[in-house]
């Protein structure tokens, strides 16, 4: 039986559920616009296998156009141990060929969030978070090793203080991928973003991301792997900075008609979390559409 919640919080939960389709629809409009644009791109010169498509879904500097649509649930979150929900465009990739030797790869994310109260007496929050994009300069060729480096930009698109700080933030980012065999992909994405404000204050952003990637492919496009987002909020007190998830993923690439796509389920337990009311564990389901490079 779940934890008791005051009646006004129960009513707020119902209100958020009723409003949820509107927020998701707003996010979906932007996603579908991008979808129709990318469908007009040229098709690949040869037919990739399902295993190759699955490998590209975990490659942060892929030359495919990708559209990952994700639902993420963070369980036992907040003062009332409720569930936070995230409807995400999760690291969509748009590659731009600069010349024969270099690509500029835009990797973008944004979420609509339903956030439980962190303190007793607070209300639920819902809205968009800060839209973030990374611009990787990446070599056009690589012998199983691919990398990219460039700025990450966080835009002031948050519509609620519970879902994000509505301010600009900027920092460096680096990514690499090593495909040592036809089965394995190993990689890493890391960045740190800063904004103005007082050190260790509520008005500043100073956050770090370390995203290790490991994927093993087998069968016809199946994969097992892990890709946790290890984060630190340097602006918080030292005992409330780190989130360290541990878990894994099961994925499958396939085609519907001529459209390649991948579906992936992931679950992670936060072995280190920033405070008693931070989420204990989470699960996410991602549908990724791929378009010709």
Q: Which string of b and e fits 92-101 if b means at least 16 CB within 10 Å?
A: bbbbeeeeee
**Encoded tokens for 225:** 């792997």
Instruction: Give per-residue pLDDT as tens, 281-291.
Output: 999 999 999 99
SS3 state at 252: strand
- pLDDT score at 247: 98
DSSP string, 77-95: ETTTTEEEEEEEEEEEEEE
Per-residue pLDDT at 40:
42
> Which residues, 6+ apart, have CB-to-CB distance to 8 below 8 Å?
none
What lies within 8 Å, CB to CB, of 74 at 6+ separation is 83, 84, 85, 86, 279, 281, 282
Distances in Å between the alpha carbon of 122 and those of 2, 115, 118, 129, 137?
Answer: 19, 11, 7, 19, 43
- The pLDDT of residue 196 is 67
pTM higher than the cut 0.85:
no
Cα 270 → chain centroid: 16
Domains of the chain listed by start with CATH number: 7-291 (2.40.160.40)
Reported as half-sphere exposure (CB side, CA atoms, 13 A), residue 118 has a value of 10
Contact 109, 88 (CB under 8 A): yes
* Rounded Cα gap, residues 261 and 287, in angstroms: 7
| CA neighbor of 93 nearest in space, from 288, 256, 231 | 288
Which pLDDT value is given to residue 180?
Answer: 80
| Six-digit token string for 217 | 């492919």
Instruction: State residue 24's pLDDT score.
Output: 52
**10 sits in which H/E element:** helix 7-39
How many whole angstroms separate alpha carbon 66 and alpha carbon 289? 6
Residue 171 to residue 205: CA distance in whole angstroms: 11
Q: With beta carbons less than 8 A apart as the criterion, state whether 272 and 244 touch.
A: yes
- Residues of the chain whose pLDDT is less than 70? 1-46, 196-203, 293
């Amino acid at each position: 039986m779940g934890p008791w919640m005051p009646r006004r919080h129960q009513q707020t939960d119902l209100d958020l559920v009723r409003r949820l389709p509107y927020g998701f629809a707003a996010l979906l409009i932007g996603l579908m616009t991008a979808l129709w644009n990318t469908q007009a791109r040229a098709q690949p010169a040869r037919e990739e296998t399902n295993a190759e498509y699955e490998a590209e879904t975990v490659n942060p500097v892929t030359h495919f156009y990708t559209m990952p649509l994700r639902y993420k649930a963070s369980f036992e979150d907040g003062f009332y141990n409720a569930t936070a929900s995230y409807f995400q465009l999760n690291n969509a990739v748009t590659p731009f060929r600069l010349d024969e030797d270099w690509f500029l790869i835009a990797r973008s994310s944004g979420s609509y969030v339903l956030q439980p109260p962190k303190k007793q007496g607070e209300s639920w929050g819902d809205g968009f978070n800060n839209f973030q994009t990374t611009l990787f300069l990446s070599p056009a060729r690589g012998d199983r090793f691919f990398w990219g480096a460039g700025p990450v930009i966080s835009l002031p698109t948050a519509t609620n203080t519970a879902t994000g700080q509505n301010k600009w933030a900027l920092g460096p980012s680096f990514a690499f991928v090593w495909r040592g065999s036809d089965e394995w992909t190993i990689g890493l994405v890391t960045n740190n973003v800063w904004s103005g404000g007082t050190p260790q204050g509520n008005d500043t952003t100073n956050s770090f991301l370390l995203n290790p990637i490991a994927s093993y492919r087998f069968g016809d496009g199946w994969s097992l792997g892990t890709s946790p987002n290890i984060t630190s909020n340097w602006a918080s007190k030292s005992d409330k900075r780190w989130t360290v998830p541990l878990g894994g993923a099961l994925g499958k690439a396939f085609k519907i008609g001529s459209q390649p796509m991948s579906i992936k389920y992931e679950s992670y337990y936060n072995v280190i979390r920033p405070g008693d009311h931070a989420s204990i564990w989470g699960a996410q389901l991602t549908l990724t559409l791929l378009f010709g490079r």
